[in-house]
Structure 1
Amino acid sequence: MASLRGLSRPARGLPLSQASLQTFSTSSRRCAASQAAAAVAVEELAELEDSALHTPQLSPEEKEEFRPWKRQVDREFSLPSGRYTYHPPKFSRGPLHPIQSPPSSDPTARDFVPGPFNLPRLRHTYLSTCASDIMTLAYQHVPPGTEKKEAPQRLRGWDGSSPYHKNRPLRGPRGSAVLAIREKDINFTNIPELKEITVASFVPKALGDKDYLLVCRNVMLALTGTLPEITQTKADVAQWHMRAGQPAGVKTTLIGNAAYEFLDRMVNIVFPRIKDWRGIEATTGDSAGNLAWGFGPEEVKLFPEVEANYQMYAPRMIPGCRVFVKTTATSDRQARLLMQTLGVPFYGEVRN
């Protein structure tokens, strides 16, 4: 019954003798066809093997002629290396020169830097929200036709009491040899932006025990993700038994996206966890748009990089650090406005 079920429906109506004869004939045909196909395959493989074995070999004369390196050596005028490769000029010969260097975004440029490969959340917030808010807050409306006020002369002239005063350059202001930067109005071309952040740490105890310097360098490496450089003392201090040129600290500078990521961690993780913290003093700044603040050893422990691997460092050897924020602002007022929009709080007396 099982054999009859495997037959086709018309074959089931035939007698058993005829059905068995028909199945035998079909199976024999299939066997003959498979044997014929195998024979054809064997013949084709034999032809391939014969064709590979009967390939004509090169004669000694042809082998002697087939030497590409010899042709290159015998060439009278060899082609220069990189003839078809574009090389940008090494020097800029002015905007009117026919050969100009490609922009830095071109991969063929000499100053090409690949990236950026990520967009930090704080930088995205600055580009999408903070930049337009700063320009709106700092907008000063000037009615059309208003006369422009001439900026006062900050350099001092000469009274002409000596013949050597003639054609001399003007003198600097009294009390300071450095002329302070003049604040510029904010417009769409000079919106203040974060430029770089420098993290520095000074460890006086490293003068007597180098382990303090090793722990300080490891902590700064964990905080910034860059290998810090070791700083040396510049003066002799007898009270600290310090001599000039001794290693006693580390520092590193973060630029671009790394600076935004470091500031993001400070604003959203470290600052809220500091107990009884009022903020950053509003008097900080160098009158040129650069701000600074510090962290003690207990506050450095609040960074997630140090807290996650707290057992790697000796608790009493974890140092404090100073953070110097450099911006493109032209005054401390504009720098504070930028930091406030990014989430840094200030308190106390405000000094322009």
Structure 2
Amino acid sequence: MASLRGLSRPARSLPLSQLPRQTYTACSIRCASSQAAKAEAEEDLQELETDSLLHAPPLSEEEKRQFRPWKRALDRQFMLPSGRYQYHPPKYNRGPLHPIQSPPSSDPVARDFVPGPFNFPRLKHTYQSTIAPDLMTLLYEHTPPGTPKNETPQRLRGWDGSSPYHKNRPLRGPRGGPNLPLLERDITFKNIPEIKEVTIASYVPEAVKDPEHLLAARTAMLALTGTLPTVTKTKHSIAQWGIKEGEKAGVKTTLIGNAAYEFLDRCIHLVFPKIKDWKGISATTGDGSGNLAWGFTPEELKLFPEIEVNYSMYPAKMLPGCRVFVKTTATSDRHARLLLQAMGVPFYGKV
């Protein structure tokens, strides 16, 4: 660079290929090591092209026959090591203190990178702009400073002490199941309920004797969700129904993110209004932890636009019904119903 600055302005405007070799060599040779480095650099620069390919003349037929890039690559003595210049994310995460950490999922190099999203569902936009602020405002409960907090009651059952073996034993679980339901938390700006995932499942017991029913159910589920559903198998044997354990008798798929909002948008604005004499969804639905569910009969499944447009493609009387499970981040069924009511899902009956 120092030698190029010393040139005159007309000389600097010329391309490097037209300059004599002596004009851009080193100004002074200080020692033998610098002379050897210069010679090695000139050898490395022999393979560089000084002119742009846009201004180069086209190759002749003889040059095309002699052009063999693979042979030139094999004849090259020094190759760049691929492992030094290519980054590969670790296959396993070995903890937060390990010196090698996986990149975030938003990085295209990451192993769990998923491109997108390429759209923004209307229902999700409505949730972020209107529903979430309204839920946070309407359910706000002001607590004056200094108010004592209500202690959570003991939900596990103790022992009556009728046996000496009851001493120092852990408390028993609740009646009716081994798991405790979630405690309802007050809605704040940190835990506004939202849709987490939607699972659509279809049980087809006729597929045990006729596999074509399973094919029709899987095709309908693929058209509804856009994802390839998985085949489910029976867990128990029921002699009255002729079902054995391990037989293929259903399909299911899970929608996450924008796909879940788009499916709910179609249910609320396209399918629910077309159902005749429909009261709505029972208000008693839910598992106690903020997850709600409802079902569609085969007649109601025909109302989806994906099924209606190609209804003649499905065999007669083979289109099954399905069950929709909506998983939310709410900690109670009451908050989950408030979320779906704000989105447009109708409920009926007393809780």
Q: TM exceeds 0.5?
A: yes
- Is contact 1:183–1:331 with CA below 8 Å preserved after alignment? yes
User: Does residue 106 of the first structure (1) align with residue 104 of the second (2)?
Assistant: no
Q: Corresponding residue for 1:126?
A: 127
Q: State the number of aligned residues.
A: 285
Instruction: Please say which of residues 227-236 and 192-201 is displaced more in the overlay.
Output: 227-236
TM-score, length basis structure 2: 0.74
SS in 1 for 2:312: helix
For 2:73 and 2:315, locate their aligned partners in 1 and report how far apart those are by CA, in whole Å: 67
| Inter-CA distance 110–317: structure 2 relative to 1 (3 Å threshold) | closer
What is the Cα deviation at residue 144 of structure 1? Answer: 1.5
User: Does residue 275 of the first structure (1) align with residue 291 of the second (2)?
Assistant: no
Q: Corresponding residue for 1:317?
A: 318
Gaps of 5+ in 2: 1-56, 64-70
Correspondence 1:13-52 to 2 at 5 A: none
| Inter-CA distance 92–137: structure 2 relative to 1 (3 Å threshold) | farther
Cα-to-partner distance string for 1:60-112 (whole Å, 9 max, x where unaligned): xxxxxx9764564xx7xx864321233444424336x6654433222233332
Which residue identity is paired with 1:91?
N
Q: Corresponding residue for 1:342?
A: 343
What is the Cα deviation at residue 229 of structure 1? Answer: 1.2
Q: Corresponding residue for 2:143?
A: 142
1:91 to 80, 90, 93: 93
TM-score, length basis structure 1: 0.73
Q: Corresponding residue for 1:60?
A: none
Q: Corresponding residue for 2:184?
A: 183
Which residue identity is paired with 2:334?
R
Correspondence 1:187-202 to 2 at 5 A: 187-202=188-203
Correspondence 1:194-213 to 2 at 5 A: 194-213=195-214
Q: Corresponding residue for 1:18?
A: none
Which residue identity is paired with 1:322?
R
- Is contact 2:224–2:306 with CA below 8 Å preserved after alignment? yes
SS in 2 for 1:83: helix
Instruction: Please say which of residues 122-131 and 280-289 is displaced more in the overlay.
Output: 122-131
- Is contact 1:92–1:101 with CA below 8 Å preserved after alignment? no
What is the Cα deviation at residue 263 of structure 1? Answer: 0.6
For 1:99 and 1:230, locate their aligned partners in 2 and report how far apart those are by CA, in whole Å: 39
SS in 2 for 1:336: helix
What is the Cα deviation at residue 335 of structure 1? Answer: 0.6
Which residue identity is paired with 1:293?
W
- Is contact 2:280–2:348 with CA below 8 Å preserved after alignment? yes
| Inter-CA distance 327–82: structure 2 relative to 1 (3 Å threshold) | same
> Which structure: larger Rg?
1
Q: Corresponding residue for 1:290?
A: 291
- Is contact 2:230–2:251 with CA below 8 Å preserved after alignment? yes
Q: Corresponding residue for 1:29?
A: none
Identity %: 67
What is the Cα deviation at residue 286 of structure 1? Answer: 0.2
For 1:262 and 1:323, locate their aligned partners in 2 and report how far apart those are by CA, in whole Å: 10
